Chain A
Amino acid sequence: MTETSGTSPDTPPDPAPRAVSTSASADTPAAADLAAAGASADVDAPAGATATVDPPAGTGEATAAGPAVRTRLLRRPSRGRAASARRRRRSSALVLLLGLLSTGVLWSVLAPSGSAAQTSDANEAVRQGRALYAQGCSTCHGLGAQGSNTGPSLIGVGAAAVDFQVSTGRMPLAAPAAQADRKPALYSQTQIDQLAAYIDSLGGGPAVPKVTDTALDDADLSHGGELYRANCAQCHQAVAQGAPLTYGKFAPSLSESTPTQIVEAMRTGPESMPVFGDRQIDEKDAVAVAAYVQHLTKTKSPGGFSLGKYGPVPEGLLGLLVGVGGLLVVCLWIGARQKV
């Protein structure tokens, strides 16, 4: 899998027009699917547009493509006087139509996400993320993230779900089982962000929460503890060591979870976990819960060796094996030393 992570960012195989076409048809997953498959030969409205607009647009950035097309269109009459007026009128009308169309669609997709600079970065991330997605995820989740028999649809799951699943190593899945287990992450954080941007571009959803160290330090630990005991302990166990659910599923241990991952899990409800939206547990409380879990799992507990923090089961084993067993060895020792 290191191959995947190593090569994919270096090979941005898609020419910009295809990115345009994907964005243009974002509302219809089936069209996105076709575009992602590289089916540019198919005569579709956006595909036809790329054929007509041709070389100059191909060199431009995906983000700039829409406006650039329109600018060129306006200038064109003054540059190409030698061409016949009829042909000019027809092609310019077509270009105008398509330019307006792609501009409108791009606007509707990108406008809410902020300033022009961010938009540009985000689109680059989406492009990279789509490449990563096609290589590492599409086998199960489908080429357009629409889902398949082996994996759920990812449209609308949001960046938080992607960041949680990929940064905890659960995705890509090692093998189909009752539940994905935590393992070392296969993608770098940059790649995870790109994947998240791509999935986010397909239909929104919960964004990656920003859990800062300051927020963690300021969190109300005892309130977090009360929330944890009320909402989390019945599955994840009072000391966050996890416990089994039915048929091989389980609530995992939170020992290795980062605060961000804990909040992401609350917001997206992975596997059997219910979703705790921000109307139930607001941002501050969610961070308090994460801080409490950090305290449980990271702080050195007083009283000596903690026996895996599982309570009476390991305690009983130690008490019987080392306590009673050790004293039986002492009995043997005393019994062996004496001579009747």
Chain B
Amino acid sequence: MTTAPPPEFVKRPTPVRKANRAIDERFGTQAGLRRNLNKVFPDHWSFMIGEIALYSFIVLLLTGIYLTLFFDPSNTEVIYNGSYVPLKGVEMSRAYASTLDISFDTRAGLVFRQIHHWAALVFVGSIVVHLLRVFFTGAYRKPREVNWLIGVGLLVLGILEGFAGYSLPDDLLSGTGLRIAASIAQSIPIIGTWASFMLFNGEFPGANFLPRLYVIHILLVPGILLALIGAHMGILWHQKHTDFPGPGKTEHNVVGHRVFPIFAVKSGGFFMMVFAMLALLGGLAQINPIWMFGPYDPSKVSSASQPDWYIGFLDGSTRLMPPWEFRGLGHTVPAVFWPTAVLPGILFTLLALYPFLEARFTGDTKSHNLLQRPRDTPVRTALGAMSISFYLVLWISGGNDVIAKTFSISLNAMTWAGRIGLIIVPPIAYAVTKKLCIGLQEKDAEIAHHGIETGIIRQLPSGEFVEDHRPKPELVPDHPHVPTDRYALPSANGHDDGHGKGLARRAGKAVSGFFVEEKEPGTPGHDTPAGSEKH
């Protein structure tokens, strides 16, 4: 695997080149390095959403390592004697006491705790937004189904990891969450009691539960997450990134920037931005003030106890579920079983199987490297909107007590609105979205036929009025539905297409780029892609 050194090495032996040559002479890395640094990634703002999740995961690891230095996951009861006066002399677990110590008696402990928690919220949130981007553009289609499955696994594990972290400090809120988790385990028919006993090492709250949860939170789940993230990105690297159709872009190439230097610099900068956002949140906004909640005691509960947002939809489904209990054959199936065990099971199974179901129903067995616009696939887009509305009704119902209190609405009215909304809103969302997609397609077809109306009326010397039409846009190869022109209205002079320099203008271009190709027709040499690669 040795390669002849390029002439540059001889000419200017800088320290980097020397080190590179030294490594190459020993490990033969040069060829692989060159190949990978020359890899091309497409440029689109929506391809960076997954990076938010990756970078918040790195922030979670860094802050989490700091927190493990001070946290003591022990159920042992102690009398608190730290700096926070209103809890002095109160009996509590070592876990809660050490979380208080992190918050009040450890240098930078509170800000690390808060960054860690905000990063967890943003981590799961950006996974969900990334998933929506992948779904609505059809990026999961063959050959990328496995990466879709890994992504669903990452989402589920991210939720579990977040819940474990929320439960560790052993405050009143986290204990209430664990109490509910224990109830859910108990509600499983036949094996419920044993499942709960196994999880909690006996009757809730088990004697040695927190150390177990700690191992799950800091070793087991993060280890699996890390491995899956590696697999997710390895497969992405190997299969190459998808891209929106556009001039010069086909099913068999990738157009964009090489990893080094542009993509690397851009991603490095973006990592700094993500870290800055999380640090801002952690420094300015309070999160999970456990000292106000008090230590956990199974006999106590606070009203308006809520889980973190990613569990909220299950809380909502529990609130909406009527109290139907089934008894028979010597067993009881409590009402809580259906919304908390069956429902998420169905939802995540459907999510994981969606690529295969779609391939089955559409009969599409080809490989795809170009993305689809949401309007091109009205049924998929409508199904997605339907699922989002279903999720949102559940999610809003999860906070219905806070909403009822804040806006002075009856809690019972909120519950019934959620029950009825859960049934009628998703079909409406489906119908409206499908109609919208078809309407947009019709608009595309109209433009393809007649060109773009400019809205500029001119009077000819003969007195006749005519409207300026811009020429019919060229069609993108391999993708006849996508016009190559933007629907931007011309500016006042009627000809300037608006190459403004303002941030708003650029942001507008970026947004419209999600839907239609940005390049102007007839200027193919203007923006030559910096690199391209064959699939």
Q: Is A295 at the interface (CB under 8 A from chain B)? A: yes
Q: Is A198 at the interface (CB under 8 A from chain B)? A: no
B262 CB to closest chain A CB (Å) equals 8
Q: Is A121 at the interface (CB under 8 A from chain B)? A: no
Task: Please tell me if the beta carbons of A334 and B300 are within 8 angstroms of each other in the complex.
Answer: no
Q: Which of A307-321 contact B (CB under 8 A)?
A: 307, 309-320
Task: Please tell me if the beta carbons of A307 and B285 are within 8 angstroms of each other in the complex.
Answer: yes
Q: Is A292 at the interface (CB under 8 A from chain B)? A: yes
Chain B residue nearest to A327 (CB atoms) is B52
Once the chains are docked, how many angstroms separate the CA of A223 from the CA of B399? 31
The 8 closest A-B pairs by CB, nearest first: A335-B45, A316-B309, A319-B121, A336-B506, A238-B302, A303-B286, A243-B303, A336-B510
Task: Please tell me if the beta carbons of B125 and A320 are within 8 angstroms of each other in the complex.
Answer: yes
B494 CB to closest chain A CB (Å) equals 25
Task: Please tell me if the beta carbons of A312 and B309 are within 8 angstroms of each other in the complex.
Answer: yes
Residues of chain B with a CB closer than 8 A to A310's CB:
304, 402
Q: List 23 A-B contacts (CB under 8 A).
A: A221-B88, A222-B85, A222-B88, A223-B89, A234-B302, A235-B303, A237-B304, A238-B305, A244-B411, A303-B286, A305-B285, A311-B305, A312-B308, A313-B312, A315-B287, A320-B309, A324-B125, A327-B122, A333-B506, A334-B45, A335-B43, A335-B46, A336-B503
Once the chains are docked, how many angstroms separate the CA of A316 from the CA of B392? 13
Task: Please tell me if the beta carbons of B306 and A311 are within 8 angstroms of each other in the complex.
Answer: yes
Task: Please tell me if the beta carbons of B503 and A327 are within 8 angstroms of each other in the complex.
Answer: no
Once the chains are docked, how many angstroms separate the CA of A246 from the CA of B412? 6
Task: Please tell me if the beta carbons of A241 and B45 are within 8 angstroms of each other in the complex.
Answer: no
Q: Is A250 at the interface (CB under 8 A from chain B)? A: yes
Contact A221-B48, Cβ < 8 Å, known A178-B410, A230-B300, A311-B288: no
A300 CB to closest chain B CB (Å) equals 11
Chain A residue nearest to B309 (CB atoms) is A316
Residues of chain A with a CB closer than 8 A to B306's CB:
311-313
Task: Please tell me if the beta carbons of A221 and B303 are within 8 angstroms of each other in the complex.
Answer: no
Once the chains are docked, how many angstroms separate the CA of A327 from the CA of B89? 43
Q: Is A139 at the interface (CB under 8 A from chain B)? A: no
B139 CB to closest chain A CB (Å) equals 16
What is the interface of chain B mostly: helix, strand, loop, or mixed? helix
Task: Please tell me if the beta carbons of A324 and B110 are within 8 angstroms of each other in the complex.
Answer: no
Task: Please tell me if the beta carbons of B173 and A311 are within 8 angstroms of each other in the complex.
Answer: yes
A252 CB to closest chain B CB (Å) equals 9
Chain B residue nearest to A236 (CB atoms) is B303
Residues of chain B with a CB closer than 8 A to A335's CB:
43-46, 48, 510, 513
Encode A277-308 as 1/0 by CB contact (under 8 A) with B: 00000000000000010011000011111110
Task: Please tell me if the beta carbons of B402 and A313 are within 8 angstroms of each other in the complex.
Answer: yes
Q: How many residues of B contact A (CB 8 A)?
A: 81
Once the chains are docked, how many angstroms separate the CA of A251 from the CA of B302? 12
Q: A302's contact among B103, B118, B257, by CB below 8 Å, is which?
A: B103
Chain B residue nearest to A224 (CB atoms) is B86
Once the chains are docked, how many angstroms separate the CA of A304 from the CA of B392? 29
Once the chains are docked, how many angstroms separate the CA of A290 from the CA of B405? 22
Q: Is A330 at the interface (CB under 8 A from chain B)? A: yes
Q: Is A90 at the interface (CB under 8 A from chain B)? A: no
Residue ranges of A at the interface with B (Cβ–Cβ < 8 Å)? 178, 181, 221-226, 229-230, 233-239, 241-248, 250-251, 292, 295-296, 301-307, 309-320, 322-324, 326-328, 330-340
B171 CB to closest chain A CB (Å) equals 9
Q: Is B87 at the interface (CB under 8 A from chain A)? A: yes
Task: Please tell me if the beta carbons of A304 and B301 are within 8 angstroms of each other in the complex.
Answer: no
Task: Please tell me if the beta carbons of A304 and B411 are within 8 angstroms of each other in the complex.
Answer: no
- A sample of 16 more A-B contacts (CB under 8 A), given A335-B44, A338-B266, is A222-B85, A222-B87, A225-B87, A226-B90, A241-B304, A243-B303, A250-B405, A301-B286, A301-B289, A304-B283, A311-B173, A311-B305, A324-B122, A324-B129, A327-B126, A334-B266
Q: Is B114 at the interface (CB under 8 A from chain A)? A: yes
Residues of chain B with a CB closer than 8 A to A334's CB:
45, 48, 266, 269-270
Instruction: From B273-281, B320-328, B359-367, give the one contacting chain A.
Output: B273-281
Q: Which of B222-241 contact A (CB under 8 A)?
A: none
Residues of chain A with a CB closer than 8 A to B309's CB:
312-313, 315-317, 319-320
Task: Please tell me if the beta carbons of B527 and A339 are within 8 angstroms of each other in the complex.
Answer: yes
Q: B172's contact among A229, A318, A326, A328, by CB below 8 Å, is which?
A: A229
Residues of chain A with a CB closer than 8 A to B129's CB:
324, 328
Task: Please tell me if the beta carbons of B86 and A221 are within 8 angstroms of each other in the complex.
Answer: yes
Chain B residue nearest to A312 (CB atoms) is B306
Q: B48's contact among A223, A246, A318, A331, by CB below 8 Å, is which?
A: A331
Residues of chain B with a CB closer than 8 A to A318's CB:
281, 285
Q: Is B101 at the interface (CB under 8 A from chain A)? A: no
Encode B289-302 as 1/0 by CB contact (under 8 A) with A: 10011100101111
Q: Is B456 at the interface (CB under 8 A from chain A)? A: no
Encode B500-514 as 1/0 by CB contact (under 8 A) with A: 000100110111010
Chain A residue nearest to B311 (CB atoms) is A312
Q: B292's contact among A230, A238, A317, A338, by CB below 8 Å, is which?
A: A238
B510 CB to closest chain A CB (Å) equals 4
A330 CB to closest chain B CB (Å) equals 5
Residues of chain A with a CB closer than 8 A to B305's CB:
238, 311
Contact A233-B300, Cβ < 8 Å, known A225-B87, A316-B121: yes
Q: Is B284 at the interface (CB under 8 A from chain A)? A: yes
Task: Please tell me if the beta carbons of B312 and A316 are within 8 angstroms of each other in the complex.
Answer: yes
Task: Please tell me if the beta carbons of A304 and B284 are within 8 angstroms of each other in the complex.
Answer: yes
Task: Please tell me if the beta carbons of B511 and A332 are within 8 angstroms of each other in the complex.
Answer: yes
Residues of chain B with a CB closer than 8 A to A225's CB:
86-87, 90, 294
Contact A336-B45, Cβ < 8 Å, known A244-B404, A320-B121: yes
A233 CB to closest chain B CB (Å) equals 4
Once the chains are docked, how many angstroms separate the CA of A234 from the CA of B305? 9
Residues of chain B with a CB closer than 8 A to A223's CB:
89
Once the chains are docked, how many angstroms separate the CA of A340 from the CA of B531? 9
Contact A303-B114, Cβ < 8 Å, known A229-B172, A323-B121, A323-B122: yes
Residue among A234, A307, A319 with the highest chain B CB neighbour number at 10 A? A319
Contact A221-B288, Cβ < 8 Å, known A248-B410, A335-B44: no
Q: Is B466 at the interface (CB under 8 A from chain A)? A: no
Chain B residue nearest to A316 (CB atoms) is B309
B411 CB to closest chain A CB (Å) equals 4
Encode B53-85 as 1/0 by CB contact (under 8 A) with A: 000000000000000000000000000000001
Chain A residue nearest to B307 (CB atoms) is A312
Residues of chain B with a CB closer than 8 A to A332's CB:
45, 507, 510-511
Residues of chain A with a CB closer than 8 A to B509's CB:
336
Q: Which of B304-363 contact A (CB under 8 A)?
A: 304-309, 312
Residues of chain A with a CB closer than 8 A to B283's CB:
304
Q: Is B384 at the interface (CB under 8 A from chain A)? A: no
Once the chains are docked, how many angstroms separate the CA of A168 from the CA of B513? 57
Once the chains are docked, how many angstroms separate the CA of A302 from the CA of B287? 10
Once the chains are docked, how many angstroms separate the CA of A307 from the CA of B49? 26
B298 CB to closest chain A CB (Å) equals 12
Q: Is B529 at the interface (CB under 8 A from chain A)? A: yes
Residues of chain B with a CB closer than 8 A to A233's CB:
172, 294, 300-303
Contact A327-B510, Cβ < 8 Å, known A238-B302, A247-B410, A305-B285: no
